[in-house]
Every structure is written in structure tokens, then in C-alpha cells.
Structure 1
Amino acid sequence: HVFNYRESLLLFIFNPSKLCLIDWMEARGAYLLPGDHALRLDLVCKVNGLEAAEEYFLSLPDMHKSVKTYSSLLNCYAEHKPEKGLELYEKMRTMNIVPNTLVYKNLMSLYLKAGQPEKVLKTFEEMRGNGIQTDNFTYCILTESHIMVNGLESTKKFLEDLEKSIPVHWSLYTVLANNYNKVGQFDKAELALKKAEEVMDKGEMFAWHNLLSLYASSGNLSEVKRLWVSLRSELKICSNRSYLVMLSSLKKLDDFDSMQQVFQEWEFTQQSFDMRIPNVMIRAYLAKDMTDEAEALRQAAMAQGRSDPVTFYIFAESYLEKSRTDAALQVWRDAEKIVNTPNWVPRPELVKRFLKHFEEAKDVDGMESFCACLEKLECLDADARDALSRTYVAAGRTNPSYHSPDGRRPG
């Protein structure tokens, strides 16, 4: 029964779990279709990286190297190594693999990321000439490429002409608006966003989110607030994602009072908890030196086992930047309670920043406390021990007072 419902199951679980499910299915004798191999290839890339995805593709028997699996690998290259993706496409052509819509979309993305927008235009025409169906995504890439090759005003005219032949999707106008924002032409961006709002499906949540973010990027607070009222009216139930986008937009516009109001509304109406939302407020509180309020959210989330690695990084980085070492060390001491993830270790670059800070300050007590935290997290390595030794020397300490639990001294 699990095999029969695999597609439904995969919709509701995270990428590492999806990959485990497919591995489990194959181990129990499930026959994987070409689409399954293509999905697994994509998941391997997302979970384990591009090199692992390449190895998986090479391990497939020739009978499973279909247009779907080639297209999936092409998509991986589009994300990580466009130049290798173009080489793969040339190989596909020599093998007479007939491109489908997905292959063409990935190829257009590759050209765009490789800085060859003029080839996107040619590929689009080739796609239509071969009778391959286009979609909104291909038109979005086409619009981006048109802007790069011909400029914003020409692209605006292109969309106006396109309106005469097909219904233009709202996302094309947001591509135009985003590029107007980039060059500071906010009035023209607003006109494009008004057009997007006019043609969009009012029940499509992602469209509202896109408009909110783009109005925030243009600095238009009144339109952000107007859209928020319209979104809540049209969608009836406000999702966590909607609150997250709205709070992020208000933070970008530095409307702190409205942020507090929206956050309080979420606290009272939430249907499920999402730590990303308190994390936005925590960043805002810390930016305004409202430490007590930020800490109250951290403590509440910790008590309920709801905080996450992002919460830890927000506090650790903020306190380090403000040289609040005592507060930062307390966050490190609470790391296991904050993160709640088995075998979690902090990012190496953050550890290096803390080591550098204590070493440069010749802060022996701080360095010892920090190394004790690393020891507790089982990530006290040779670099940390060396930094501790150098700190002792710089501070004129000849008899190190720190001993790790195994009895060793630093150095």
C-alpha cells in the first residue's frame, strides 16, 4: 500500500526523509520508474550535494538513463555548475535525446546563469518551432533574458505586445517590477505590480506574497499594508507563510510598531507553531537593543522545545557583534536546549569567529568558557586547542588552568 501512495507521501515530508523513503521502497523490492530515478537524483543533489548526484547518475543502468534522469541532472547543474550543464546538453544532442519541456526549461536556466541571455531567446524560439509546450516558467526566464539583452523599456513593450496574443501571467510583471526596483525606478515598478495584481488569481497565496515582498523592496509601506488587508480578506485563513512574509516586509521597512501588532495577532490566531516567525521578531528586537524582549521569546521557545539552530545563530552572532561575551557564552551553554537536533554541531565559521574574538582580546576566562562549551558539544578540535594555547601565551599565562574532561591540557 505504501508503494501505491508514494506520490502522496512524498508531498508531505522533507527532502532527507523523501530520499530515505525511496531507498526503503527499493530495498523492499519496489520497481522504480524513470520518474522515480529522476526524483531520487534531484533529492540526492539537495541532500548530499552535486558530486553524490553525479555518482548516482553514473551508477544507473543505461535503461534507466532516460530523458527524465538526464533532465534532472541538467537541473542539478543549473543550480551549481552551469558550464557542466551545457556540456551535458551537448552530449544529449549527440545521443539524439529528444528534449521535452523540462529539458528546455533547464537549458534556458543554464544559459541565463552562464551569462548568455541571447541564447535563451534562441532556445525559446527553437522550443516553439519544435512544437514543445511553453509555460509560465519559460516565459519568466524569457522575460529576464529580454531585460538583459534589450533593456527594461523594450521588455515592457514586449509584454504589452504579448498581451495581445496570450493571457500574460502575473509573474512576468513581477519580474519586470523586480528589475525596476534594482535600478531604483520605483514608480515604474509600482505600475508593473498594479498590473500583476490586476491579472493574478486572488486565491493564489504565492502571488500575494510576491507582491508584498516587492512593494517592501520598493519602500512602499502604504501598499504593503493595503495588500495585507486584501490578502486577509481574499484568503480568509492566514497561513504561517503569509505572516512570515508580512513580518519580513515590515522589518525591511523598519515599521516596528506594525511588526509587533502582526506578531501579536499571529500569537493569538496561529493554527500551528512556526519558529521562523518568532525568529524574525527576535532579529528585530536585537537590532533595537531590546534584549529582554528577545530573550523572553528565546526562553519561551526553549521551554517548549520549539527553538531551532537559526535561533541559536541569531543570538550568538548578535551578541558577538556587540561584544556581549557573557550573554554570548550563555547562549553557547544553552545550545543543546535551543537546537534540539541530535548530533548537531555549530557552523565552523562561527566557531572560528568566537575563537578569534577571545584570542585577540587576550580573554583567557572567555576562551576557557567557550572551549568548555565546545567540549560539551563534542566539537573541541585541534584548532580550538591551539587558539586556547595562543591566548594563554598572549595573556602571559604559563600554567593553563583549563583541562578537558579527558585530562588533557591545551596545545
Structure 2
Amino acid sequence: MSENTLSEQELRRLSFSPENQVLPKQNDADWVSYLNSMGMGQALEVQLRASSLIRTLTNKSIHLGFGGWSQDGVRPWIIARQQTLTELQEYLGIGIYSVENNVQIRNYARLKGIDIASLSMSWLVEHRHDDPVISLLLKKRNQDSLLERYRDRLASLQDHNGIVKLSGTWNPYSSYSGRFTAHDMAMTALPKAMKNYFVAPSRRSSPKIYVSFDANQIELRLLAGASNCELLIEQFEDGIDLHSYFASKLFETDQSNVSPAMRKLAKTLIYAMLYGAGVSRLDKIVAKSGLLVRSQPISILQSLYPEVNTLLQRFRQGRVLYYGLKPTKFQPRIGTKWLPSSTKQNLPVQSATALLMKQTLVELSNKVNVVNVIHDELICLCNEGDVDETRRCVIEAIMTAANKLDLTLPLKNMLSTQQLGGNYYDNY
């Protein structure tokens, strides 16, 4: 492994070894030979090339215009919190100062015969259906947490321009699927609305912007290509909204009649099935939505996309693990712990997505300034006039990466492009 040396965590997950297992003392050549023999050679090669690139993301940041965010961005949370406080006042008959204090809420609740044994989030979640006051207290605690984390903590991090630099500490192999993520200020954990308040640092002679390049429905595209599902490939090529289409079948109505709530449920069910949910879990999702479906989700999947269903069953029932949509020689277990069938089903798709994004980063190296990656979304910093060229580079990189990994996926209509926030002029 001359290009880079991988960490013990990376080697452990590449070899599907338990987290607490001490790895055998082997030199680089032995690890290469072993992982090649087990069908993980390609994953190792990609990791060697991508690992250092992923770690450099720790040194990059996205700039947040804190003034706009703290005044306008969090306003919906403040309004929702005030409504929660008003409802608590009405239920308990207490004043505004008392309702701000969780302990006092619990004490007044007890006077009305409502026992709140604990103020912990876990207890409140478990008992949220016992009484409206408990549900409201849980809501208040969640709203307090959002404001404390994403407004109050950030306030002290502003620089002289009122800018907060958002960054994270990156892990190049954070799960056995090969996904790479950041913790601390991980973008995946930030509110979506915050993107509207990003401000790219610019010089007056060279205005810059943040641009999001989001690979739409990458897991479904990979499954379409791997299973050679003609209908699904055709729908991607034609730009059909798969979630609305699936919803029309789910509710037995014309696609033009599909509401946002119906589409949202269809999307949730599609990905739940993709990740191995059974009938019981799907029924719970439908029940929680409050909508009445007319057809069973699994039956629709089987009838519309039989090739995809057959491929998922192959993963689910396989005697070996599939990684990157290809079989390995590993048994489906981590150490002595056998993996559930749902994990056997979703790991091939998640790992293929992770491999594709890592190889895409490799292809974009020294071409595009990638400042953050959120699953299958790349956030880049580029000149205002270079968005089209940057988009072309990203599409070309994804296509090249897929070819090198022997992954087939419909590329048409795949990439959504969105400018995030605005910019500000910094004298640097």
C-alpha cells in the first residue's frame, strides 16, 4: 500500500472484522493479497486513493452569514416554540416565566395528576403518547435544543465579518458500507434551511458562490443498471418523477392527483423497501402517515420492477456478502455475529454509492474545489461564471468513476444544480 497507509479502522472495516478485534500484524503486501483474495481489492484500491482526499475536507469550511441566519433563519423555530409554550400555559394554567422552566412544568403537571418521572429525552420520547403535556414538553425540549445548538453556540464563533466557519472532522470509512462522514459540525446534521444563509468568501474582482451538485436517486439508478431493469432505466432517461409515479400506483390515482404528502409517503416506502423493511415495518410507516393506501408497496415493487426485486432477493438470500453490488468471499457476518437479512440487502447498494462518491472525488482532484460531501451531494466553491464548467466536470467525473468501478447507471437527468446562499467580499 505504497500510495497511502490506511488506518486500523479502515482495514478492520474492509476486512469485516469486529470493532474490538485486534488485527493481525501484517505488512502492506499481506493486506493487499488478503483483501484481493476476498474480493475487496477494488474497494481497497479506491480507499487508498480517496482516504487522504477525504481527510483534507477537515481543513475546509463553509461560511455562514450568522446575522441573517440568527434573525430570519431560526424564526420558524422561535414561532413554533412560542406556540408550544402557549399550549403548555393553557394546559397547566401557569405564567410565561414558569413555562420556560422544565422543572416547574413537571411540578405543575404533578398538581394536575400528570406524573413526569424524568425530564430525560429518552423518557419523554417513550411516554410522549401518555399525555398531551408530556408530548408538548418533549416538543419544547427539541426546540430548545435546536436553538441552543444552531443559534446560541454559533454566536460566539463569529468573526469580525459576522461569519461562522462550519467544518467537521472527517472519517474516511465511518461504517462497514464504506460511507465517509464528518462529525462535530457535520453538514448532514445541519438544518436544510441553513443552506440559504451560506455566503461564499469573494474578492470584488472574482465573486464566488457555493454550488450543490446532487446526484438524484443514486441508489435506485445503481439498482436499475445492475439489474438491467428496462422500465426503471427508461423512466430515468425520460425524467419521470419516480416517487410521484409510485404514489399514483400506491393510491390508485392519476399522477396529476398525487399530493406532496402522498409523494413523501411513496418516497419513504421505496427507500424502506430498498433498505430491507418487511411488511410489518411498511404498515407502520403507512399508519404513521395517516394516509389510506389502496395497494401493498411490496406488490407494486414486484410488479413494476421485477428485475430489481430479484436482485434485492439475491443480496438478501446470498451466502456471501455483496459489496459494491458484487459478491465477495466473506460470509455475511462481522466476526461471529451474523448480519440480518435487511443489512445483507442494503449493504451492496450503500457500498456501491460510497465507492462511486470516493472515486468521483479522486477524479475531481485538482479540478474542482469540493468543500463538503453529503452522501451523494457535492458542495463546491467556484467562480460565479464557472458553474456550467464545474457541472460538466462533476458529470464527467461521475461517469469516469462509474466506468472504472464497472457500475452501470443511467446518467441522464441525474445531477441537480443549486446555488446555495450568496457571497460576501472579504479583504484577503
TM class, shorter-length: under 0.3
Identify the structure with the greater strand proportion: 2
Structure having the higher Rg: 1
Considering Cα pairs closer than 8 Å and 6+ residues apart, tell me whether 1 or 2 has the greater RCO: 2
Question: Which structure has greater helix proportion?
Answer: 1
